[in-house]
Amino acid sequence: MGYTIAQKIIQAHLLSGNMAVGEDVGLKIDQTLTQDATGTMAYLEFEAMGVPRVKTERSVAYIDHNTLQTGFENADDHRFIQSIAKKHGIYFSRPGNGICHQVHLERFGIPGKTLIGSDSHTPTGGGIGMLAMGAGGLDVAVAMGGGAYHITMPKMVRINLTGRLSDWVSAKDVILEVLRRMTVKGGVGKIIEYGGEGAATLSVPERATITNMGAELGATTSIFPSDEVTKAFLKAQCREADWIPLQADPDAVYDEVIDIDLSALKPLAACPHMPDNVKSVDDIGKIKIDQVCIGSCTNSSYLDLMRVAAILKDKTVHPDVSLSIAPGSKQVYTMLAENGALADLIAAGARILESACGPCIGMGQSPNSGGVSLRTFNRNFEGRSGTADAQVYLVSPETAAASALAGVFTNPQELGSGIAIPMPETFLINDNMVVPPAPVEEMDKVEILRGPNIKEFPQSQPLPETIAAKALLKVGDNITTDHIMPAGAKILPYRSNIPYLSNFCFAVCDEEFPARCRKEGKGIVIGGSNYGQGSSREHAALVPLYLGIQAVIAKSFARIHCANLANAGILPLVFVNEADYDGIDQMDELELPDIRRAIAENGKVILKNKTKGTEIPLDPVLTGRQRELVLAGGLLNYTREQNT
Ligand code: MIC
Ligand code: SF4
């Protein structure tokens, strides 16, 4: 039996387990990336592990999220990351060099290699044929130290692309179509592989747009083959030597096959407030818009912005629309500046931002009250933009630009004949904003620069014999990590200050939650299905840990968050019968008797609802290894135990 692309890479990196679906597999990790919002914590964890120098082939620390410096906090954290990177063998991508995923694709990604990143959109690297996965900061720290990264062996899904995209229809519309069909939980436990004659018509940045938003499907990762298109891209980045061919075997077996005819697609949009709430731009109609934001790791490549510039050239943005544009990398920015496209964007009235995540994570450009905002980003969760009642739609750069001119939602196909922007034969290469680490013989001399914003991270305790606590919060389906631990310009600077962050935990759902936790001292959270979807931020586990949460009981979990809970020593449990969710109310007195033994012996877990006098069967969502680390009180304790 032949292998899929992902199975080939997994096979070549297998350190433990076997490739049967549902088995725990430990993978050797070739490359890691961090960004600043998760990186400060990841490097504190790396330090706690006591490994002098990273053991990966390439580790890169990017600064791209916390770039709005309204106080000392972000600047201090940047200096901390820069110094720690220098000391421990990590390349440092300075603020201004661009968004981690875009820069990594351009300058570091290598087909056939494994990459984990402390950011959920790390699968962007699948566009270049890497097995690239989002992970919690602690998992990235372990991988930097040479440890395996563990995943549950996923099912394989093949998306067969036929035909070719019509004028004004773009890669964003492809992934929106996949989201429409599969939903935000349709990818959980799966790797999505793209192939077919249609795949060959897509450039690497277009492929990367598609694999990037595979995160919104909940997929473990998404991947394209490494073919002649990949080779041409690497050649244009002066990295042809990094290319290897990589295809699925013709007799590879997939658990699911989906066919998409690219030529049949139309411009689409994800409507408020979920990336899978997809409608055609025509069906949405000509509603009035207030803001357009172009950029993010999904759609800020050279090709994307050249198309936008061509649409805006010699025109003026509608007077009622604020248009902002953030190029994805210094490479893209410089090329636009040199060929005059930047001048076209400025002349049309675009507000040009620095090359960073910016509005995507609420770092500025929050829309007006109730404002309708069209964004080329990947997430439109409620409140994420920084304006609680904003209506955020996710669209392609073409739809965004056409709408910015018209002032209403506009199908770019109305603009007439299409524009053909060729892929450059050579990109502009200048890595002067990537600082290499100190040579081994000088690393001891590097001083770590720690600002006052860095506070201790919470210590977890070994799993107790019995958990007895109240259901301090009950929430519904599709709760995102943006609900659990909101981001945005006001809170993000405190990512290395868990006590301060804890004041905002679940603020979107229930502002009283932190106070309730403090009063009770311990608690359990009850969730619906796909609990913890979205980002990789381990703060969505560390902050509840700090507030005394000992277990989360849900209908189902998103992959990265579930792993982060176990890493933090919080017990993730699912209902054996989903209907039992209805049998628990907020503030019910709950008990998990003899839980330590049940987890250690892989036995039955019974929840006693003492308020209702009922018993509810639960299943822990833990692999054999995760059982051990939850018993130990989290991955850090477990790693320390293993090393002593
Ligand atoms: C996001 O897009 O939500 C983020 C901000 O990039 C997060 C990481 C974080 O919260 O720092 C992610 O996607 O993992
Ligand atoms: Fe940055 Fe947005 Fe991409 Fe997250 S999704 S890495 S915030 S650009």
CA of 91 to the centre of ligand 1 (A): 21
Residue owning the nearest CA to atom 1 of ligand 1: 535
Alpha helices in 94-190 (DSSP H): 100-107, 137-144, 171-182
pLDDT digits (tens, 9 = 90+) for 110-128: 999 999 999 999 999 999 9
- Beta-carbon contacts of 325 under 8 Å, excluding residues fewer than 6 positions away, are 293, 294, 295, 305, 308, 345, 350, 351, 352, 353
Per-residue pLDDT, 644? 64
**Nearest residue to 228 (alpha-carbon basis) of 212, 214, 247:** 247
| Separation of CA 357 and ligand 1 centre (Å) | 10
CB atoms within 10 A of CB 579: 8
Q: Which atom of ligand 1 is nearest to the CA of 118?
A: 14
Ligand 1 centroid to Cα of residue 558, in Å, is: 14
Q: What is the DSSP letter of 533?
A: B
- Locate the ligand 2 atom nearest the alpha carbon of residue 119 and give its number: 6
Positions of the chain with pLDDT under 70: 643-644
- Is the CB of residue 213 below 6 angstroms from any atom belonging to ligand 2? no
Query: Looking at the CA of 120, which ligand is closest?
Result: 1
pLDDT for the residue numbered 458: 83
Residue 482 Cβ contacting ligand 2 at under 6 Å: no
pTM greater than 0.75: yes
| DSSP output for 283-349 | HH-S-B--EEEE-TTTS-SHHHHHHHHHHHTT----TT-EEEE--SBHHHHHHHHHHTHHHHHHHHT
Q: What is the C-alpha separation between 119 and 76, in angstroms, rounded?
A: 21
Q: What is the pLDDT of residue 459?
A: 82
Give the position, in ligand 2's atom list, of the atom nearest the Cα of 361: 7
Nearest CA to 61 out of 144, 151, 142, 146 is that of 144
- Pocket flag, ligand 2, residue 296 (CB < 6 Å): yes
**Atom 2 of ligand 2, residue of closest alpha carbon:** 360
Q: Residue 520 in contact with residue 469, Cβ under 8 Å? A: yes
Q: Is the CB of 217 under 6 A from ligand 2?
A: no
Nearest to 22 by CA among 115, 114, 156, 113: 156
**Other C-beta atoms lying within 10 Å of the C-beta of residue 491:** 18
626 Cα to the center of ligand 1, angstroms: 24
Q: Going by CA atoms, what residue is nearest to atom 3 of ligand 1?
A: 535
Query: What atom of ligand 1 comes closest to residue 378's alpha carbon?
Result: 2
For strand 24-27 and strand 149-152, is the pairing parallel, antiparallel, or unpaired? Answer: antiparallel
Ligand 2 centroid vs 536 CA: distance in angstroms?
11
| Intra-chain end-to-end CA distance of the chain, in Å | 43
